[in-house]
Chains A and B, each alone.
Chain A
């Protein structure tokens, strides 16, 4: 979390590090000059002791932002710049993607509806859902749609149209169509 915050204050961190290192080098150079070295030699020695400035900076930056995050941010910025540099190419790419995704989605939803979701009966639109509202099963978990075998058998023997079917059932239970068979 802290590291993500660091991304937004990177400029300040860089400035601070520069000042910090400059302070270190200046102090060291002064000290070396006091001990009798000529200034160019003192500067060279101080820089050498600290190791390569670039390498040191790089190492500290890796602490602020882990390497992958830094690379990722740079990649992100680079892609944003490329996008704005060539809007026509971007538009073409976006259009291609949109068409491709749209076509694929359309095809898949069609297949899904026609092949995968279709019920394995002759007239799915005529299906009805029978619901049992008997007292003995009221309010219990899973009480819906539970019927005893004799009743199921009786229902099966009703070789009539769905309207007749519901008329028979009206005595002790209600039945309602799943969908309007209009």
Chain B
């Protein structure tokens, strides 16, 4: 039985063994982001590149820069709206990508053999429909439960807390409790969702509902450990991400070299998110494998044995 520390260690180990996956996730994100930002390109070239506005904004002139930004947003509102719409579509594609990629990840990550792209793709294809169904179940279940939770807390708030002064200890504690419980509920559904998808790691034809049952049994008696893994990656990953975002946000970039370094930092932040994703999967799959010996887990469904040739009859034998 794998324990939590090994699961976390497996998560960090996945960063090494799953380099290909990290690159894949980052690359897809970068491509989606550039495509979605494309509507802004001509506007930025014309406004920032073709006028003094770019100079003012880059050098952060205390009054010219904000004025130029306001005018850019007004004059190029259609382009900005276009990029916004494209970003929403990109997010949807990103979501679909994650749903599908999970099928490949559960197939190849944490195996004794190196990860290969064909195996990954095969896993994606094999588990695509299963993962979509699992996602829909997750969405409906978590949506219903969290929706009911927030509705209930709103009713309690109105009845018991609305008359309290702002900043009172009781209202602060209540709000904090609401958030923590919501996080707990989300974590429970998220874990069930992940392990339902992981069920295809050793049962290649298991259906979505049965997979959720399998997930529940996997987690049974080990919820605390699983939630601990979830919390670890949430907090650790969140801290890493926030640090990266803060570094990118505050670093000045006026010269060409500084801008180039800035762009690398941005890619690194996106890469960090991808790496955290892979690492979390590594932990969950290690946890999942703890309920079944790893060596027994095949990577792919067994190929059917070829039929033996038919036996020759005595009449057919050339020796007779």
Does B bind A? Answer: no
Q: Which residues of B contact A (CB under 8 A)?
A: none
Q: Which residues of A contact B (CB under 8 A)?
A: none
